[in-house]
Chains A and B, each alone.
Chain A
Amino acid sequence: MISRVATVRKIAFAALTLVVAGAAGIEFSAHRRLREAVVLGPGVTSVKTLGDYFDGVKGTVNDINLYVIEGKEPGGTALVFGGTHPEEPAGRLAAWLLVEHATFDRGRLIVALSANRSATTVTRLGGAYPADYTIETLWGGQTFRMGDRWSNPVDQWPDPEVYIHHPSRQHLAYVDIRNLNRAWPGRPNGTLTERTCFAFMELIRHEQVDLAIDLHEAELQYPVISTIVTHQKGQELATLVSMTLTDLEGFTIGTEFSPLNLHGLSHREIGDHSGAVSLLFEAPEPFLDATRGKTTREQLLTGKDEFVVKAGRHGLLFETIDERGWPIAVRVGRHTSSVAQVLETWTEDHPDRAIVAFGIPRFREVTSKGVGFFLRDPATAGQGRLVFE
Protein backbone atom coordinates (compact mmCIF):
# COMPACT_ATOMS: atom_id res chain seq x y z
CA MET A 1 0.00 0.00 0.00
CA ILE A 2 1.46 3.33 -1.06
CA SER A 3 1.09 6.07 1.51
CA ARG A 4 -0.75 9.29 0.80
CA VAL A 5 2.50 11.23 1.06
CA ALA A 6 4.07 8.98 -1.55
CA THR A 7 1.07 9.40 -3.83
CA VAL A 8 1.25 13.19 -3.61
CA ARG A 9 5.00 13.04 -4.23
CA LYS A 10 4.53 10.88 -7.33
CA ILE A 11 1.86 13.21 -8.71
CA ALA A 12 4.15 16.20 -8.13
CA PHE A 13 7.11 14.46 -9.81
CA ALA A 14 4.97 13.34 -12.75
CA ALA A 15 3.57 16.85 -13.20
CA LEU A 16 7.06 18.35 -13.09
CA THR A 17 8.23 15.80 -15.66
CA LEU A 18 5.31 16.69 -17.94
CA VAL A 19 6.24 20.38 -17.69
CA VAL A 20 9.92 19.67 -18.49
CA ALA A 21 9.08 17.27 -21.35
CA GLY A 22 6.46 19.69 -22.67
CA ALA A 23 8.86 22.63 -22.64
CA ALA A 24 11.53 20.57 -24.39
CA GLY A 25 8.98 19.29 -26.89
CA ILE A 26 7.79 22.81 -27.73
CA GLU A 27 11.41 23.91 -28.30
CA PHE A 28 12.19 20.90 -30.52
CA SER A 29 8.97 21.41 -32.48
CA ALA A 30 9.68 25.14 -32.97
CA HIS A 31 13.16 24.30 -34.26
CA ARG A 32 11.80 21.74 -36.71
CA ARG A 33 9.12 24.14 -37.98
CA LEU A 34 11.14 27.39 -38.19
CA ARG A 35 10.51 28.89 -41.63
CA GLU A 36 13.49 30.49 -43.35
CA ALA A 37 12.64 33.11 -45.95
CA VAL A 38 14.24 33.04 -49.37
CA VAL A 39 13.67 36.07 -51.60
CA LEU A 40 14.12 34.89 -55.15
CA GLY A 41 16.82 36.97 -56.81
CA PRO A 42 16.45 38.50 -60.28
CA GLY A 43 18.13 35.48 -61.86
CA VAL A 44 15.87 32.74 -60.46
CA THR A 45 13.67 31.47 -63.26
CA SER A 46 11.97 28.56 -61.51
CA VAL A 47 11.80 26.61 -58.26
CA LYS A 48 11.61 22.85 -58.59
CA THR A 49 11.64 20.17 -55.94
CA LEU A 50 13.83 17.10 -55.55
CA GLY A 51 10.72 14.95 -55.80
CA ASP A 52 10.37 16.13 -59.42
CA TYR A 53 13.36 13.88 -60.20
CA PHE A 54 12.59 10.84 -58.04
CA ASP A 55 9.29 9.77 -56.52
CA GLY A 56 11.09 8.07 -53.64
CA VAL A 57 11.59 11.40 -51.85
CA LYS A 58 8.34 13.08 -52.90
CA GLY A 59 6.40 14.28 -49.90
CA THR A 60 9.21 13.50 -47.45
CA VAL A 61 11.12 16.02 -45.35
CA ASN A 62 13.85 15.86 -48.00
CA ASP A 63 11.57 16.81 -50.90
CA ILE A 64 13.52 20.05 -50.94
CA ASN A 65 13.39 23.17 -53.07
CA LEU A 66 15.78 23.51 -56.00
CA TYR A 67 16.38 27.03 -57.27
CA VAL A 68 17.09 27.26 -60.98
CA ILE A 69 18.93 30.33 -62.29
CA GLU A 70 18.74 30.09 -66.06
CA GLY A 71 20.96 32.17 -68.32
CA LYS A 72 19.80 34.09 -71.37
CA GLU A 73 21.75 31.75 -73.63
CA PRO A 74 22.29 27.98 -73.33
CA GLY A 75 25.52 26.62 -71.93
CA GLY A 76 26.69 24.33 -69.17
CA THR A 77 24.97 23.50 -65.90
CA ALA A 78 26.34 23.80 -62.38
CA LEU A 79 24.75 22.40 -59.23
CA VAL A 80 25.58 23.83 -55.80
CA PHE A 81 24.77 21.99 -52.58
CA GLY A 82 24.27 24.06 -49.44
CA GLY A 83 23.25 22.22 -46.31
CA THR A 84 24.72 18.81 -46.95
CA HIS A 85 25.90 19.24 -43.34
CA PRO A 86 23.66 21.92 -41.83
CA GLU A 87 25.94 22.28 -38.77
CA GLU A 88 28.27 24.07 -41.23
CA PRO A 89 26.26 27.25 -41.79
CA ALA A 90 28.62 29.00 -44.21
CA GLY A 91 27.67 26.46 -46.87
CA ARG A 92 23.97 27.24 -46.59
CA LEU A 93 24.49 31.01 -46.32
CA ALA A 94 26.77 31.11 -49.37
CA ALA A 95 24.12 29.21 -51.34
CA TRP A 96 21.53 31.72 -50.07
CA LEU A 97 23.58 34.58 -51.51
CA LEU A 98 23.76 32.80 -54.86
CA VAL A 99 19.97 32.39 -55.02
CA GLU A 100 19.27 35.97 -53.95
CA HIS A 101 21.89 37.67 -56.17
CA ALA A 102 23.32 35.61 -59.04
CA THR A 103 22.24 36.13 -62.64
CA PHE A 104 23.54 34.31 -65.69
CA ASP A 105 24.26 35.30 -69.27
CA ARG A 106 25.05 31.76 -70.38
CA GLY A 107 24.37 28.37 -68.85
CA ARG A 108 22.52 27.84 -65.61
CA LEU A 109 22.90 27.16 -61.93
CA ILE A 110 20.76 24.88 -59.76
CA VAL A 111 21.03 25.50 -56.02
CA ALA A 112 19.97 23.37 -53.05
CA LEU A 113 19.87 25.43 -49.84
CA SER A 114 18.99 22.47 -47.62
CA ALA A 115 20.44 19.43 -49.39
CA ASN A 116 19.63 17.35 -46.32
CA ARG A 117 16.64 19.21 -44.92
CA SER A 118 16.07 16.52 -42.31
CA ALA A 119 19.48 17.38 -40.82
CA THR A 120 18.45 21.04 -40.50
CA THR A 121 15.72 20.03 -38.04
CA VAL A 122 17.95 18.61 -35.33
CA THR A 123 21.20 19.55 -33.62
CA ARG A 124 24.02 17.35 -32.33
CA LEU A 125 22.60 15.06 -29.64
CA GLY A 126 24.31 15.95 -26.40
CA GLY A 127 26.25 18.71 -28.11
CA ALA A 128 24.38 21.65 -26.54
CA TYR A 129 24.23 23.37 -29.91
CA PRO A 130 22.03 26.46 -30.26
CA ALA A 131 18.81 25.65 -32.13
CA ASP A 132 19.22 28.61 -34.47
CA TYR A 133 21.28 31.70 -35.25
CA THR A 134 20.44 35.17 -36.50
CA ILE A 135 22.33 37.14 -39.13
CA GLU A 136 22.02 40.89 -38.57
CA THR A 137 20.76 42.68 -41.68
CA LEU A 138 19.99 46.23 -42.77
CA TRP A 139 16.30 45.49 -42.22
CA GLY A 140 16.59 43.69 -38.87
CA GLY A 141 17.79 40.14 -38.87
CA GLN A 142 17.15 36.76 -40.40
CA THR A 143 17.05 33.60 -38.32
CA PHE A 144 18.21 30.26 -39.66
CA ARG A 145 17.93 26.74 -38.28
CA MET A 146 21.16 25.36 -36.87
CA GLY A 147 21.47 21.76 -37.94
CA ASP A 148 23.46 18.60 -37.58
CA ARG A 149 25.80 16.48 -39.66
CA TRP A 150 23.26 13.67 -39.83
CA SER A 151 19.62 13.23 -40.81
CA ASN A 152 17.18 13.57 -37.93
CA PRO A 153 16.61 10.18 -36.22
CA VAL A 154 12.92 11.10 -36.22
CA ASP A 155 13.08 10.68 -40.01
CA GLN A 156 15.43 7.67 -40.16
CA TRP A 157 15.77 5.24 -37.25
CA PRO A 158 17.35 2.99 -35.99
CA ASP A 159 21.00 3.00 -37.07
CA PRO A 160 22.70 -0.35 -37.80
CA GLU A 161 25.71 -1.68 -35.87
CA VAL A 162 27.85 -1.14 -38.98
CA TYR A 163 26.95 0.96 -42.00
CA ILE A 164 27.74 -0.92 -45.21
CA HIS A 165 27.95 1.62 -48.01
CA HIS A 166 26.17 0.91 -51.29
CA PRO A 167 27.46 -0.06 -53.82
CA SER A 168 31.10 -0.32 -52.61
CA ARG A 169 30.20 -2.42 -49.50
CA GLN A 170 32.83 -0.44 -47.62
CA HIS A 171 32.22 -0.51 -43.86
CA LEU A 172 31.71 2.95 -42.39
CA ALA A 173 30.78 4.32 -38.97
CA TYR A 174 27.24 3.26 -38.02
CA VAL A 175 25.97 6.81 -37.61
CA ASP A 176 27.11 7.78 -41.11
CA ILE A 177 24.16 5.86 -42.55
CA ARG A 178 22.40 9.21 -41.86
CA ASN A 179 25.24 11.32 -43.32
CA LEU A 180 24.36 12.69 -46.76
CA ASN A 181 28.05 12.93 -47.57
CA ARG A 182 28.63 9.23 -46.90
CA ALA A 183 25.60 7.95 -48.81
CA TRP A 184 26.46 8.88 -52.42
CA PRO A 185 25.48 7.71 -55.01
CA GLY A 186 22.51 6.43 -53.04
CA ARG A 187 19.97 3.84 -54.09
CA PRO A 188 16.29 4.02 -54.98
CA ASN A 189 15.13 1.55 -52.33
CA GLY A 190 17.46 2.61 -49.52
CA THR A 191 17.13 4.76 -46.43
CA LEU A 192 15.85 8.33 -46.64
CA THR A 193 19.43 9.61 -46.82
CA GLU A 194 20.34 7.14 -49.58
CA ARG A 195 17.19 7.97 -51.52
CA THR A 196 18.02 11.68 -51.22
CA CYS A 197 21.44 11.06 -52.79
CA PHE A 198 19.85 8.92 -55.49
CA ALA A 199 17.36 11.71 -56.26
CA PHE A 200 20.25 14.16 -56.64
CA MET A 201 22.02 11.68 -58.95
CA GLU A 202 18.85 11.49 -61.06
CA LEU A 203 18.82 15.29 -61.20
CA ILE A 204 22.49 15.36 -62.23
CA ARG A 205 21.92 12.82 -65.00
CA HIS A 206 18.62 14.32 -66.21
CA GLU A 207 19.83 17.92 -66.25
CA GLN A 208 23.28 16.94 -67.61
CA VAL A 209 25.08 18.73 -64.80
CA ASP A 210 28.70 19.59 -65.64
CA LEU A 211 29.84 20.80 -62.21
CA ALA A 212 28.64 19.62 -58.81
CA ILE A 213 29.90 21.82 -55.97
CA ASP A 214 29.36 20.78 -52.34
CA LEU A 215 29.85 23.56 -49.74
CA HIS A 216 31.20 22.53 -46.32
CA GLU A 217 33.06 23.71 -43.23
CA ALA A 218 35.56 21.81 -41.11
CA GLU A 219 37.04 21.93 -37.63
CA LEU A 220 40.60 23.24 -37.47
CA GLN A 221 41.80 19.92 -36.07
CA TYR A 222 40.73 18.19 -39.29
CA PRO A 223 43.45 18.00 -41.96
CA VAL A 224 41.10 18.57 -44.90
CA ILE A 225 40.47 22.29 -44.42
CA SER A 226 40.67 25.56 -46.40
CA THR A 227 40.76 23.52 -49.56
CA ILE A 228 38.99 22.27 -52.65
CA VAL A 229 38.61 18.50 -52.71
CA THR A 230 38.26 17.35 -56.27
CA HIS A 231 37.47 14.23 -58.22
CA GLN A 232 40.28 13.33 -60.64
CA LYS A 233 38.18 14.75 -63.49
CA GLY A 234 38.49 18.19 -61.91
CA GLN A 235 42.12 18.22 -60.84
CA GLU A 236 43.27 20.79 -63.39
CA LEU A 237 40.22 22.96 -62.81
CA ALA A 238 40.57 22.90 -59.01
CA THR A 239 44.30 23.60 -59.15
CA LEU A 240 43.81 26.59 -61.43
CA VAL A 241 40.99 27.90 -59.23
CA SER A 242 43.11 27.42 -56.11
CA MET A 243 46.04 29.34 -57.60
CA THR A 244 43.83 32.13 -58.92
CA LEU A 245 41.94 32.62 -55.65
CA THR A 246 45.11 32.56 -53.58
CA ASP A 247 46.75 35.04 -55.93
CA LEU A 248 43.89 37.49 -56.45
CA GLU A 249 41.29 37.23 -53.70
CA GLY A 250 43.27 37.64 -50.52
CA PHE A 251 42.74 34.23 -49.01
CA THR A 252 44.61 30.97 -49.24
CA ILE A 253 42.90 27.83 -50.49
CA GLY A 254 44.53 24.54 -51.37
CA THR A 255 43.64 21.53 -53.49
CA GLU A 256 43.20 17.92 -52.39
CA PHE A 257 42.49 14.97 -54.59
CA SER A 258 39.58 12.74 -53.70
CA PRO A 259 40.89 9.37 -52.44
CA LEU A 260 39.97 6.59 -54.86
CA ASN A 261 39.04 4.13 -52.15
CA LEU A 262 37.09 6.31 -49.73
CA HIS A 263 33.44 5.90 -50.63
CA GLY A 264 30.17 7.65 -50.12
CA LEU A 265 31.50 11.20 -50.49
CA SER A 266 30.17 13.61 -53.10
CA HIS A 267 33.62 14.41 -54.54
CA ARG A 268 34.17 10.69 -55.21
CA GLU A 269 30.80 9.20 -56.13
CA ILE A 270 29.20 12.00 -58.19
CA GLY A 271 32.30 12.03 -60.39
CA ASP A 272 32.34 8.24 -60.63
CA HIS A 273 28.64 7.78 -61.33
CA SER A 274 27.83 10.69 -63.63
CA GLY A 275 29.35 12.94 -66.24
CA ALA A 276 29.76 15.78 -63.73
CA VAL A 277 33.00 17.06 -62.27
CA SER A 278 32.57 16.95 -58.49
CA LEU A 279 34.19 19.43 -56.14
CA LEU A 280 33.88 20.00 -52.39
CA PHE A 281 34.93 23.21 -50.62
CA GLU A 282 36.00 23.31 -46.96
CA ALA A 283 36.11 26.54 -44.92
CA PRO A 284 37.35 26.72 -41.30
CA GLU A 285 34.70 26.54 -38.54
CA PRO A 286 36.14 26.62 -34.97
CA PHE A 287 32.63 25.87 -33.61
CA LEU A 288 33.15 22.25 -34.66
CA ASP A 289 36.46 21.78 -32.85
CA ALA A 290 36.37 19.32 -29.95
CA THR A 291 38.53 21.65 -27.85
CA ARG A 292 36.16 24.61 -28.21
CA GLY A 293 34.87 26.52 -25.21
CA LYS A 294 31.23 27.57 -24.88
CA THR A 295 29.06 26.29 -27.73
CA THR A 296 27.14 29.49 -28.35
CA ARG A 297 25.56 31.44 -31.20
CA GLU A 298 28.26 34.06 -30.81
CA GLN A 299 31.01 31.47 -31.17
CA LEU A 300 29.26 30.02 -34.21
CA LEU A 301 29.16 33.39 -35.99
CA THR A 302 32.43 34.99 -34.85
CA GLY A 303 34.56 31.85 -34.91
CA LYS A 304 36.39 33.24 -31.87
CA ASP A 305 37.48 30.72 -29.27
CA GLU A 306 40.36 31.03 -26.81
CA PHE A 307 40.61 27.26 -26.32
CA VAL A 308 40.97 26.59 -30.05
CA VAL A 309 43.58 29.36 -30.18
CA LYS A 310 45.41 27.58 -27.36
CA ALA A 311 45.22 24.29 -29.28
CA GLY A 312 46.85 26.13 -32.17
CA ARG A 313 49.72 27.28 -29.96
CA HIS A 314 50.33 23.61 -29.15
CA GLY A 315 50.52 22.72 -32.82
CA LEU A 316 47.28 20.72 -32.83
CA LEU A 317 45.58 22.51 -35.74
CA PHE A 318 45.77 22.30 -39.52
CA GLU A 319 44.70 25.94 -39.98
CA THR A 320 45.81 29.11 -38.23
CA ILE A 321 43.60 31.00 -35.78
CA ASP A 322 44.11 34.07 -33.59
CA GLU A 323 41.93 36.35 -31.48
CA ARG A 324 40.13 37.54 -34.64
CA GLY A 325 38.64 34.06 -35.06
CA TRP A 326 36.98 32.96 -38.29
CA PRO A 327 33.94 35.24 -38.73
CA ILE A 328 31.01 33.93 -40.72
CA ALA A 329 31.53 36.61 -43.40
CA VAL A 330 35.04 35.30 -44.08
CA ARG A 331 33.80 31.72 -44.35
CA VAL A 332 30.85 32.64 -46.59
CA GLY A 333 32.97 34.94 -48.76
CA ARG A 334 35.48 32.17 -49.36
CA HIS A 335 32.69 29.95 -50.65
CA THR A 336 30.99 32.53 -52.89
CA SER A 337 34.30 33.59 -54.43
CA SER A 338 35.31 29.97 -54.94
CA VAL A 339 32.05 29.17 -56.72
CA ALA A 340 32.40 32.25 -58.93
CA GLN A 341 36.00 31.41 -59.77
CA VAL A 342 35.17 27.78 -60.61
CA LEU A 343 32.52 28.99 -63.08
CA GLU A 344 34.94 31.47 -64.65
CA THR A 345 37.78 28.96 -65.00
CA TRP A 346 35.41 26.27 -66.28
CA THR A 347 34.06 28.67 -68.92
CA GLU A 348 37.57 29.52 -70.14
CA ASP A 349 38.26 25.83 -70.74
CA HIS A 350 34.79 24.81 -71.97
CA PRO A 351 33.40 27.58 -74.22
CA ASP A 352 30.82 25.14 -75.60
CA ARG A 353 29.50 24.53 -72.04
CA ALA A 354 30.07 28.04 -70.72
CA ILE A 355 28.49 29.17 -67.45
CA VAL A 356 28.74 32.96 -67.27
CA ALA A 357 27.54 34.45 -64.02
CA PHE A 358 27.10 37.99 -62.69
CA GLY A 359 26.23 39.42 -59.33
CA ILE A 360 27.79 36.77 -57.13
CA PRO A 361 29.13 38.62 -54.04
CA ARG A 362 32.88 38.04 -53.86
CA PHE A 363 35.13 37.57 -50.82
CA ARG A 364 36.12 41.22 -50.36
CA GLU A 365 32.52 42.44 -50.67
CA VAL A 366 31.17 39.90 -48.20
CA THR A 367 33.93 40.47 -45.64
CA SER A 368 33.69 44.26 -45.85
CA LYS A 369 29.87 44.54 -45.84
CA GLY A 370 28.92 41.41 -43.90
CA VAL A 371 26.66 38.51 -44.86
CA GLY A 372 23.54 40.35 -43.69
CA PHE A 373 24.07 43.11 -46.23
CA PHE A 374 23.34 40.58 -48.97
CA LEU A 375 20.24 38.97 -47.42
CA ARG A 376 17.12 40.42 -49.00
CA ASP A 377 14.20 41.69 -46.93
CA PRO A 378 11.22 39.29 -47.27
CA ALA A 379 8.88 42.27 -46.80
CA THR A 380 10.07 43.73 -50.11
CA ALA A 381 9.72 40.53 -52.13
CA GLY A 382 7.53 40.80 -55.19
CA GLN A 383 4.51 38.58 -55.74
CA GLY A 384 5.53 34.95 -56.07
CA ARG A 385 9.17 35.81 -55.26
CA LEU A 386 9.13 34.67 -51.63
CA VAL A 387 9.81 31.01 -50.78
CA PHE A 388 10.37 29.30 -47.45
CA GLU A 389 12.88 26.62 -46.60
Chain B
Amino acid sequence: MILVQLVITGLYYVLAGLLALVLVEQFVRERNWQREVLYLIVIVPLVLRLVHLK
Protein backbone atom coordinates (compact mmCIF):
# COMPACT_ATOMS: atom_id res chain seq x y z
CA MET B 1 0.00 0.00 0.00
CA ILE B 2 2.71 2.46 1.01
CA LEU B 3 4.76 1.43 -2.05
CA VAL B 4 1.78 2.04 -4.35
CA GLN B 5 1.30 5.49 -2.80
CA LEU B 6 4.98 6.29 -3.23
CA VAL B 7 4.84 5.27 -6.89
CA ILE B 8 1.71 7.35 -7.52
CA THR B 9 3.22 10.35 -5.71
CA GLY B 10 6.42 9.93 -7.72
CA LEU B 11 4.45 9.83 -10.98
CA TYR B 12 2.66 13.05 -10.01
CA TYR B 13 5.99 14.75 -9.44
CA VAL B 14 7.17 13.50 -12.84
CA LEU B 15 3.95 14.85 -14.41
CA ALA B 16 4.43 18.19 -12.67
CA GLY B 17 8.01 18.34 -13.96
CA LEU B 18 7.03 17.44 -17.52
CA LEU B 19 4.22 19.99 -17.53
CA ALA B 20 6.64 22.65 -16.26
CA LEU B 21 9.08 21.79 -19.05
CA VAL B 22 6.35 21.99 -21.70
CA LEU B 23 5.31 25.38 -20.34
CA VAL B 24 8.91 26.62 -20.44
CA GLU B 25 9.20 25.47 -24.05
CA GLN B 26 5.93 27.22 -24.96
CA PHE B 27 7.11 30.35 -23.18
CA VAL B 28 10.30 30.42 -25.24
CA ARG B 29 8.40 29.95 -28.53
CA GLU B 30 5.55 32.32 -27.75
CA ARG B 31 5.31 35.72 -29.53
CA ASN B 32 2.36 37.16 -27.62
CA TRP B 33 3.50 38.82 -24.38
CA GLN B 34 0.20 38.17 -22.58
CA ARG B 35 0.51 34.43 -23.21
CA GLU B 36 4.11 34.54 -22.03
CA VAL B 37 2.91 35.99 -18.69
CA LEU B 38 0.21 33.34 -18.51
CA TYR B 39 2.74 30.51 -18.97
CA LEU B 40 4.96 31.92 -16.24
CA ILE B 41 2.08 32.29 -13.79
CA VAL B 42 1.15 28.64 -14.35
CA ILE B 43 4.75 27.50 -13.94
CA VAL B 44 5.21 29.03 -10.44
CA PRO B 45 3.07 26.60 -8.37
CA LEU B 46 4.49 23.64 -10.30
CA VAL B 47 8.04 24.69 -9.48
CA LEU B 48 7.16 25.35 -5.82
CA ARG B 49 5.66 21.86 -5.59
CA LEU B 50 8.66 20.27 -7.28
CA VAL B 51 11.02 21.85 -4.74
CA HIS B 52 8.72 20.82 -1.83
CA LEU B 53 7.82 24.34 -0.76
CA LYS B 54 4.09 24.45 -1.47
Task: List, in ascending order, chain A residues with CB within 8 A of B53's CB.
Answer: 24-25, 28-29, 32, 154
B40 lies within 8 A of chain A by Cβ: yes
Q: From known contacts A17-B44, A24-B44, infer whether A190 and B51 are also in contact, taking CB-CB under 8 Å.
A: no
Alpha-carbon separation in the docked complex, A122 to B8 (Å): 22
Q: From known contacts A2-B31, A154-B54, A158-B9, infer whether A13 and B36 are also in contact, taking CB-CB under 8 Å.
A: yes
A20 lies within 8 A of chain B by Cβ: yes
Contact of B33 among A9, A154, A190 (CB under 8 A): A9
Task: List, in ascending order, chain B residues with CB within 8 A of A25's CB.
Answer: 48, 51, 53-54
Alpha-carbon separation in the docked complex, A10 to B35 (Å): 11
Q: Nearest A residue to B37 by beta-carbon distance?
A: A13
Do A28 and B2 touch across chains, with their CB atoms under 8 A apart?
no
B1-15 interface bits toward A, Cβ cutoff 8 Å, 1 = contact, 0 = none: 110010011001000
Enumerate B9-29 residues with CB–CB distance to A below 8 Å. Answer: 9, 12, 27-28
Enumerate A23-44 residues with CB–CB distance to B below 8 Å. Answer: 24-25, 28-29, 32
Task: List, in ascending order, chain B residues with CB within 8 A of A29's CB.
Answer: 53
Do B49 and A6 touch across chains, with their CB atoms under 8 A apart?
no
Determine how close the nearest CB of chain B comes to the CB of A33; give it in whole angstroms: 11
Determine how close the nearest CB of chain A comes to the CB of B27; give it in whole angstroms: 7
Task: List, in ascending order, chain A residues with CB within 8 A of B52's CB.
Answer: 154
Determine how close the nearest CB of chain B comes to the CB of A192; give it in whole angstroms: 9
Q: Nearest A residue to B43 by beta-carbon distance?
A: A17
Alpha-carbon separation in the docked complex, A32 to B52 (Å): 11
A142 lies within 8 A of chain B by Cβ: no
Do A20 and B54 touch across chains, with their CB atoms under 8 A apart?
no
Alpha-carbon separation in the docked complex, A28 to B37 (Å): 23
Task: List, in ascending order, chain B residues with CB within 8 A of A158's CB.
Answer: 8-9, 12
A173 lies within 8 A of chain B by Cβ: no
Alpha-carbon separation in the docked complex, A6 to B5 (Å): 43
Determine how close the nearest CB of chain A comes to the CB of B11; give it in whole angstroms: 9
Do A154 and B40 touch across chains, with their CB atoms under 8 A apart?
no
A189 lies within 8 A of chain B by Cβ: yes
A74-116 interface bits toward B, Cβ cutoff 8 Å, 1 = contact, 0 = none: 0000000000000000000000000000000000000000000
Contact of B12 among A32, A157, A190, A191 (CB under 8 A): A157
Q: Nearest A residue to B3 by beta-carbon distance?
A: A189
Alpha-carbon separation in the docked complex, A87 to B52 (Å): 21
Alpha-carbon separation in the docked complex, A272 to B26 (Å): 55
Alpha-carbon separation in the docked complex, A32 to B31 (Å): 39
A21 lies within 8 A of chain B by Cβ: yes
A316 lies within 8 A of chain B by Cβ: no
Q: From known contacts A13-B36, A21-B47, A28-B48, infer whether A189 and B54 are also in contact, taking CB-CB under 8 Å.
A: no
Apart from A10-B27, A17-B40, A28-B54, what are 19 other A-B pairs with CB-CB below 8 Å?
A: A9-B33, A9-B36, A10-B28, A13-B36, A13-B40, A14-B27, A17-B43, A21-B48, A24-B53, A25-B48, A28-B53, A32-B53, A153-B49, A157-B9, A157-B12, A158-B12, A187-B1, A189-B1, A191-B5
- A-B pairs, 5 with minimum CB distance: A189-B1, A17-B40, A28-B53, A25-B53, A21-B44
Which residues of B pack against A, CB within 8 Å? 1-2, 5, 8-9, 12, 27-28, 31, 33, 36-37, 40-41, 43-44, 47-49, 51-54
23 A-B residue pairs with Cβ-Cβ distance under 8 Å, sorted by A, are A6-B31, A10-B27, A10-B28, A13-B33, A13-B37, A14-B27, A14-B40, A17-B40, A21-B44, A24-B44, A24-B53, A28-B48, A122-B54, A154-B49, A154-B52, A157-B9, A157-B12, A158-B8, A158-B12, A187-B1, A189-B1, A190-B2, A191-B5
